[in-house]
Amino acid sequence: MPLVSLTYDISSGSNTAASGTNAPSTAVTGTNGDISGTTFTLNETVDFTGVADDDSDVLWVDTPSGDRHLFRITAFNPSVAAATTLTVSESATSPETGDNWAVGGVRQHFWNDTSNSDVADMTSGWEMIFEAGTYTISNSVLPLVPTGGNLTDGRLIFRSSSGDPADVTWAAGTASVATIEPSGLADVELRGLTLTNTGSAAGARVIYGDNATTNILIKDCIISGPVALYLDGSCRITGINSEFTGTSTVADSASFHWASGRSVCYFNGCRFLSGAGHGAYVNTSTGFSSCAFLSCAFYDNDESGLRINAALQDALISIENCVFHDNAEDGIVIEGTPVVDSGPYAVINSAFTSNGGYGINYASAGSDDAARVILYADYNAYGNNTSGALNNAAAGPNDVTLTGDPYVDASTGDFTLDETAGQGAAMRDAGLGLSHS
């Protein structure tokens, strides 16, 4: 199925005179349309030359609040140049007569109707493109839970037109619910967006994954709220070059909190920072899951950079080429009562610097418990951690001890290795490299 694209411009778009972007660029409009089932009667003859009938262009109908108002066009009858009726893919919620309608142009709000916002009409295979601006999300229509979909129809995509998250902000209010909850969707993409949630309660999450069929790609985004990313079910999450900031003041909160479920998570080039709790908290006790952090930075968190539940049986956690810096407690802490064959956890080619506790801390009491965790840590660098490099974990034969922070400018988040002897140079000499800047 062709991708359906809708463009939104908070400054110059219109909620009542535009609906699609593929064609035409200027909306074709009318004031007396009737819709029943999948047939839209124009009550006039209209030239739709340039508009596609392959489900990629959209008809907007000014239906009552709570009814569907976006419809994909599948046929012009009797012809595209002299149409008197349109056939659409989706069936109308209820028959309507004498409605305003539009095809083409640019829309303004994607959360414009408290009972039926644009996103409620969308499913897999739709794309929402945002021009620069701040799009306020009303509490009354949170969370975003689009209607169904499957991978065969394609992804549901939300992206900025520029690809720069500084240009487009979704600003949620103070509701104690998620900003976006893509439950029931096969594949969702968020690209080049800033998503915020100013709520204060624990339920005020920005992205909430809770469905076994959901793949969520978060690329080039800035996510900020009490919990930036929360998993409470079996999801598949991919984070690329994105920043997650938790603002909750609740203890043991985290910018990324994996609470339960058999999920697969992969983060590359991401940052977990300034959380009032942990940078990330992998707390699920469900086995047969995996979570990989590659070239990520965990820093300036009020508790640990990464907290791991020791009871993760048969759950793979891989940490490579990461930075754990200036966290108030440990860089990584493994807590709780382990079960047989907890892990495996692999930590390689990473730097642990200026943390208020240990670099890596296996905090469960007793050496017997510690022995039950499958932990491999080697080719890491440690320096200026208040309590020491490791606790209840063996140093790797290829580890490096630093005389100071090895970065160009950690205060601005630039973790590129410097050239100072005993610091960045020592890591390079040992073959350890970081790709952060």
Domain boundaries, the chain: 18-103, 144-429
Q: Which of 98-112, 139-153, 248-262, 406-420 has the highest mean pLDDT?
A: 406-420
In the block, which residue shows the tokens 């035409």? Answer: 24
Residue 436 or 257, more confident: 257
What confidence tier does 235 reach under pLDDT thresholds 50, 70, 90? confident
Q: For the full predicted model, state whether its pTM sits above 0.85.
A: yes
- Report pLDDT digits (tens) over 254-306: 899 888 777 789 999 999 987 778 999 988 665 557 889 999 999 999 999 99
Pairing of strands 39-46, 83-88: antiparallel
What's the CA gap between 429 and 421, in Å, rounded? 10
Residue 143 or 402, more confident: 402
Length of the chain measured in residues? 437
pLDDT attached to residue 21: 45
Q: Does the pLDDT of residue 12 top 80, yes or no?
A: yes
What's the CA gap between 113 and 10, in Å, rounded? 15
What confidence tier does 231 reach under pLDDT thresholds 50, 70, 90? confident
User: What average pLDDT score do residues 208-218 get?
Assistant: 76
Q: What is the CATH number of domain 144-429?
A: 2.160.20
What's the CA gap between 211 and 150, in Å, rounded? 13
- Report pLDDT digits (tens) over 142-173: 344 444 444 445 678 899 999 999 999 888 76
What confidence tier does 20 reach under pLDDT thresholds 50, 70, 90? very low
In the structure encoding, which two tokens stand for residue 246, read together? Answer: 């938790």
What confidence tier does 114 reach under pLDDT thresholds 50, 70, 90? low
pLDDT attached to residue 116: 63
What's the CA gap between 434 and 411, in Å, rounded? 17
144-429 and 18-103 share a CATH fold: no
In the structure encoding, which two tokens stand for residue 380, read together? Answer: 């890491």
Q: Is 16 exposed, middle or buried (0-12, 13-18, 19+ CB in 10 A)?
A: middle
Residue 359 or 128, more confident: 359
The letter for the amino acid at 130 is: F
pLDDT attached to residue 13: 84
Pairing of strands 323-325, 297-299: parallel
What confidence tier does 185 reach under pLDDT thresholds 50, 70, 90? low
What's the CA gap between 280 and 272, in Å, rounded? 7
Q: Which of 170-174, 373-377, 412-416 has the highest mean pLDDT?
A: 412-416
Q: CA 393: distance to chain centroid?
A: 33
**Residues above pLDDT 90, as percent of the chain:** 44
Q: How high does pLDDT run on average in the chain?
A: 83
CA angle 320, 340, 336 (to 5 degrees): 70
What confidence tier does 202 reach under pLDDT thresholds 50, 70, 90? low
What is the fold of 18-103? Elongation Factor Tu (Ef-tu); domain 3 (2.40.30)
Tell me which residue of 375, 355, 376 sits closest to 306, measured CA to CA: 355
Q: Phi, psi (5° rounding) for residue 188?
A: -130, 135
Tell me which residue of 369, 427, 419 sits closest to 393, measured CA to CA: 369
In the structure encoding, which two tokens stand for residue 322, read together? Answer: 């990461």
**Dihedral, CA of residue 358, residue 361, residue 367 and residue 368, to nearest 10:** 180
- Comparing 98-107, 198-207, 248-257, 342-351, the range with the smallest average pLDDT is 198-207
Q: Does the pLDDT of residue 41 top 70, yes or no?
A: yes
Q: Does the pLDDT of residue 38 top 90, yes or no?
A: yes
Contact 308, 289 (CB under 8 A): no
Q: Does the pLDDT of residue 333 top 90, yes or no?
A: yes
Q: Phi, psi (5° rounding) for residue 34?
A: -120, 135
User: What average pLDDT score do residues 312-322 get?
Assistant: 84
What's the CA gap between 420 and 367, in Å, rounded? 38
In the structure encoding, which two tokens stand for residue 424, read together? Answer: 């960045």
Q: Does the pLDDT of residue 10 top 70, yes or no?
A: yes
